[in-house]
Structure 1
């Protein structure tokens, strides 16, 4: 007999409210992989292991609970004695003596209850101190540190449908005693068996850790036919993966309510030595054997002794499974057959496999489907295997025969859906729209970067969903000026995305000002570098900058004489790279000399790799490993580009350090001259290299591509180009034969339409188009939307500059005149270099180069743009690049350059 049905899983998931509980970082000093039981063969006298709260972990506590805080430990290799337990609040140094624990038998969970309610706990770092005499043997003292996240729970319900087909075959006899409470009421017009009501009660065995969750099941009886049905009851659960017990490190905190055993020393680090002078192997270290613990040191111990033990708190997931009335399922194991001829008096008990129930057919009773209820145990951290045998009581005689049917696929689908259920229906960001895949994984962002579509995709999503879009499980993108103010001017720290700029290559690179995650250290570093990026210092470096413009002028003079067609992009790039090389490394990189595109530093590849890995910083190592194995030159270049630039930075900085007496006024000299605020010492070599490297990466590609887009936009708008040149002629004197470029002093103030053209270029085609996330430590309001603490928030500059609400429906049109009129766009609408204290530190240098090159080239030369009919193709993995060449012929507007 074949029957097709649908299982309906109504899963009720109880999870901590992310909006109410802020994430607390795991303590950094603990080893990454910890030390598990019996991993070390070193002869330890007495060892203690955390079960529910382990060193370095972060755990949820329900603030609505009025139960006492409890903890579970195991002992190994100890004498028969009692251990003292002290709970310490690291924020307040408050101590609570908890109920004492026996140290034997080995590997047995022991629960201690503390004199503080869970509702009285606070989020932060806590410690559990375990001390004892070890039967007058070797006294021990251990400490485990962990963090608590205290807040109320939230509940949400979702339904998953899983179709399946099952086979029902021959009948069998099952006589069993159930763990369930079952009551069947027979209608008056029915045939009544000898027992109108059959009741059997099951009490699960006591366990140390449990949750009090109720699972309701419905069992059915079938009228006897040629077949019988075996119902398989499966408990679909979402649980934390089982982890081994972790050994506690030595005691570091000296308790005030308990004296330390004699000879026990507080440990300052984990890499210490034992009392015999031998290195400790892991966390197993011998203690001295000379003292006892004073049993009468404080009356508080008596209080701890009398406290009632309670279950340990744990953030669990409860699942309720409801089966339809017409369900028939065959068992996964061979059926058990028991035959009994005295149906009215004898009972035969059959114990079935764990979590398996046999529902049998009845030949004498017709009754409604009874409701069976039992308490199921769901372990979130289970270290002992407990077997629960569920049996059913009935007496029937038939002939056995059955076929097993697999439930593995149904179970797997439910388990896999738990992750999706949480992020789609429970996570605090569930109410925000965005791509489905982005709500459950960061790989949507990874795809957008790899496909060179990041800013365009985010612009499309904002056009579809509005000012707030969910672009990752914990990421929100905004496109309003109000969001810029809230996110970037509130002092929020940077998100983990920036780790990609540190981990995107094989070589080491010290954390610099741009990648510094700590706000205080960033502020210190920015203060000591402020002088070097201020306009007075840039004006002092203008002679170095103009020396590279002079080479560009001579190159253009040569093209004017020869009438040769050339790509203007390349020569602008050669110039900007050599300018930054001069300033960051103390000498030009030779690009203007060689005019070879292959020798341009791979800045684009470096940025691409950093932005790519920043989308999934936790998977950077795996991605690098994968790319290294791909038979692709592009993949190899992606990894090698950053390392080649680091080598170049190290080489040039080392050469400069060998000439400490030079009076050259450049950025590298400024970086080498500054001293740390706290120590007064100069920067170390790795930090000098990191800052010089960041200056080259951040200043070359962005400045060059901004100028590429500007000339491309002007060439496709002849009237704008004409007005640009006319304003130069009217407001600036002609360049002198020995003048490489216009001087920056007063240049911006003398020009109007030129500034509008540059500003409109920044708006229409911004270069830095990757999302720069900030993370509010606590909940915050961004443009009227409440954002839970720990959420990554960002404003994509491209999406902001292409918001039709701000710029009108012609937002994708290059129109400098939009900056004129009675109500020009507010300056806050334009976000060229980001905002707040983390704004681009080199923006003065970038604005200087853009303005000087644009005015100098169009003031000295008249360009014939040859490919203006081609569309402007801008691609971006987060750093925009004009792929369309700017093919030109030029002629001089005045005398040739003679400098």
Structure 2
């Protein structure tokens, strides 16, 4: 054999060896890593590219739901990723004791302060640290404490209504409510956190592209959170525009520094956090104050805006629901049961309003991917399948909120009456398993603030305006990634000249 033939033989052997290694690795990933018995898309069992692509296409909520319809309560959506849909899984993974530890995707959400991750109650993975931090600041989010910032919410609502009245000019006008609701939620969180709106309502526009920039960041987190190990090494190339300074982050850091240098008597979350820090600096550091203020701002506005869009969109699409909600609000006003602006203790007593909000939260959760958790060292047994440690598992709110055993057979229908007509036991079951705000120890700490804002602003919008879709035949657009933001929601607002 001459040298040339020898070289060709060695190359062929190398190719064959590489092929055998790749096939063996894929065979092991597909069948031998402990998840071989869990059904799902074939490509998903071999590579994370399947879920990366589905999230990039913004289709995960519906694809995830369809997979569970096809395969059952456990679906393999990645080589080491399992989506679960049952009450058994929800309670085992998210509710029992402290729940499982969050997955590595949450680390991407943590900004850097002084070249170190700025941990916060949402993105930290450490279960014990999360428990300690939540014990320290959790009292600030109790409903009894939240009412202290109600005047801040009132200021933002009054500005919102005033700006919409300017637009309608006491008549009718077509308004992009998907944008204006985002403007209001950003400004009201600024009021709650810092007694200072960002200024979207006053400008009537996306200031410095903050909303667009925020949306780009959330898409980045959604897509690259599916492959956090790749993101860790490739982030400097992947970020592109996302590497530019985060305006919301720098704004938060600057406001914390300013408040330390120039203390105020304002009743807001920042002063409450700083009071905790001054009372016991060892329990709550200044870094944690900054982290809490930042995560309040950057996550709460989206959850709130998505919920508000869902409420208004579905109410507009069902005239029966619209008439019932409108009549309940106007009747409360005629009876003198609503202040100007309405108070939380008043609006919380409106049963149909609460039912509409619960139903909107059910049918359109703000999160479109599974709530990722790491399977602990001992593994977990679900539906006769032993799921080993090293697996990421979680439940998708878009799947759980359509569980027919919990919410009824008509889960695809927007029907607020399900929160009124059912037995008290059934309603408790629905509320317990509504996953929009998460579940267990890692459920949304700001739920009480969000519910107060939703109740109050919906009352004010419908007591001041008649609202309808500009084009009832046109569907809105939903971004089906980590966040399920809606756009293309033009509505006609007509000022109610005689409300009583």
Q: 1:786 to 1:860 in 2, by over 3 A?
A: same
Structure-2 residue corresponding to 1:722: 323
* 1:203-222 correspondence runs (5 A): none
Equivalent pair of 2:107/2:124 in contact (CA under 8 Å): no
Which among 174, 177, 185 is matched to residue 565 of structure 1? 174
Equivalent pair of 1:673/1:682 in contact (CA under 8 Å): no
Structure-1 residue corresponding to 2:380: 780
Q: Name the SS of the counterpart of 1:707 in structure 2.
A: helix
Structure-1 residue corresponding to 2:148: 540
The Cα of 1:820 is off from its aligned counterpart by 4.3
Equivalent pair of 1:578/1:591 in contact (CA under 8 Å): yes
Q: 1:743 to 1:785 in 2, by over 3 A?
A: farther
* 1:846-865 correspondence runs (5 A): 846-865=450-469
Q: 1:822 to 1:577 in 2, by over 3 A?
A: closer
Structure-1 residue corresponding to 2:38: 432
2:362 matches 1:751: no
Structure-1 residue corresponding to 2:368: 769
Which among 411, 431, 443 is matched to residue 811 of structure 1? 411
Structure-2 residue corresponding to 1:653: 256
CA deviation string 1:338-383 (max 9, x = no partner) = xxxxxxxxxxxxxxxxxxxxxxxxxxxxxxxxxxxxxxxxxxxxxx
Structure-2 residue corresponding to 1:522: 130
Equivalent pair of 2:191/2:197 in contact (CA under 8 Å): yes
CA deviation string 1:825-850 (max 9, x = no partner) = 63234222111111100000111111
Which among 469, 488, 491 is matched to residue 884 of structure 1? 488
Which among 263, 272, 277 is matched to residue 675 of structure 1? 277
Structure-1 residue corresponding to 2:224: 613
CA deviation string 1:14-65 (max 9, x = no partner) = xxxxxxxxxxxxxxxxxxxxxxxxxxxxxxxxxxxxxxxxxxxxxxxxxxxx
Give the Cα separation in 1 of the matches to 2:11 and 2:59.
Answer: 47
Structure-1 residue corresponding to 2:470: 866
Q: 1:682 to 1:495 in 2, by over 3 A?
A: closer
Give the Cα separation in 1 of the matches to 2:381 and 2:333.
Answer: 48
Equivalent pair of 1:585/1:656 in contact (CA under 8 Å): no
Equivalent pair of 1:735/1:741 in contact (CA under 8 Å): no
The Cα of 1:407 is off from its aligned counterpart by 2.8
Which among 444, 447, 456 is matched to residue 840 of structure 1? 444
Structure-2 residue corresponding to 1:589: 198
Equivalent pair of 2:469/2:489 in contact (CA under 8 Å): no
Q: Name the SS of the counterpart of 1:663 in structure 2.
A: coil
Structure-1 residue corresponding to 2:82: 476
Q: Name the SS of the counterpart of 1:745 in structure 2.
A: helix
Give the Cα separation in 2 of the matches to 1:483 and 1:780.
Answer: 10
Give the Cα separation in 2 of the matches to 1:881 and 1:450.
Answer: 14
Q: Name the SS of the counterpart of 2:266 in structure 1.
A: coil
The Cα of 1:505 is off from its aligned counterpart by 12
Structure-1 residue corresponding to 2:60: 454
Q: Name the SS of the counterpart of 2:83 in structure 1.
A: strand
Which among 172, 175, 185 is matched to residue 576 of structure 1? 185
Give the Cα separation in 2 of the matches to 1:708 and 1:444.
Answer: 30
Q: 1:654 to 1:834 in 2, by over 3 A?
A: same
Equivalent pair of 2:176/2:488 in contact (CA under 8 Å): no
Q: 1:677 to 1:666 in 2, by over 3 A?
A: closer
Q: 1:736 to 1:432 in 2, by over 3 A?
A: closer
Structure-2 residue corresponding to 1:255: none
The Cα of 1:736 is off from its aligned counterpart by 9.8
The Cα of 1:503 is off from its aligned counterpart by 6.4
TM-score normalized by structure 2?
A: 0.89
Give the Cα separation in 2 of the matches to 1:403 and 1:473.
Answer: 35
Q: 1:596 to 1:670 in 2, by over 3 A?
A: same
Structure 1 stretch 851-860 or stretch 881-890: which is displaced more?
A: 881-890
Equivalent pair of 1:766/1:880 in contact (CA under 8 Å): yes
Structure-1 residue corresponding to 2:395: 795
Give the Cα separation in 1 of the matches to 2:137 and 2:113.
Answer: 26
Structure-1 residue corresponding to 2:303: 702
Q: 1:785 to 1:807 in 2, by over 3 A?
A: farther
Give the Cα separation in 2 of the matches to 1:518 and 1:769.
Answer: 24
Give the Cα separation in 1 of the matches to 2:35 and 2:448.
Answer: 38
Equivalent pair of 2:136/2:284 in contact (CA under 8 Å): no
Runs of 4 or more off by more than 6 Å in structure 1? 402-405, 503-507, 676-679, 734-737
Give the Cα separation in 2 of the matches to 1:523 and 1:764.
Answer: 30
The Cα of 1:432 is off from its aligned counterpart by 0.5
The Cα of 1:877 is off from its aligned counterpart by 1.2
Equivalent pair of 2:171/2:494 in contact (CA under 8 Å): no
Q: 1:873 to 1:506 in 2, by over 3 A?
A: farther
Give the Cα separation in 1 of the matches to 2:206 and 2:313.
Answer: 20
Higher helix share: 2
Q: 1:832 to 1:404 in 2, by over 3 A?
A: closer
Q: 1:678 to 1:521 in 2, by over 3 A?
A: farther
Equivalent pair of 1:332/1:406 in contact (CA under 8 Å): no
Give the Cα separation in 2 of the matches to 1:643 and 1:665.
Answer: 26
The Cα of 1:811 is off from its aligned counterpart by 2.5
Give the Cα separation in 2 of the matches to 1:504 and 1:451.
Answer: 29
CA deviation string 1:56-105 (max 9, x = no partner) = xxxxxxxxxxxxxxxxxxxxxxxxxxxxxxxxxxxxxxxxxxxxxxxxxx
The Cα of 1:768 is off from its aligned counterpart by 2.0
Give the Cα separation in 1 of the matches to 2:70 and 2:129.
Answer: 40
2:13 matches 1:407: yes
Give the Cα separation in 1 of the matches to 2:146 and 2:12.
Answer: 74
Higher strand share: 1
Question: CA-atom RMSD, angstroms?
Answer: 3.0
Structure 1 stretch 500-509 or stretch 454-463: which is displaced more?
A: 500-509
CA deviation string 1:588-615 (max 9, x = no partner) = 1111111112544433333222233322
Structure-2 residue corresponding to 1:626: 237
CA deviation string 1:686-730 (max 9, x = no partner) = 332221110011111110121011101111111110011112233
Which protein shows a greater Rg? 1
The Cα of 1:751 is off from its aligned counterpart by 1.9
The Cα of 1:461 is off from its aligned counterpart by 1.4
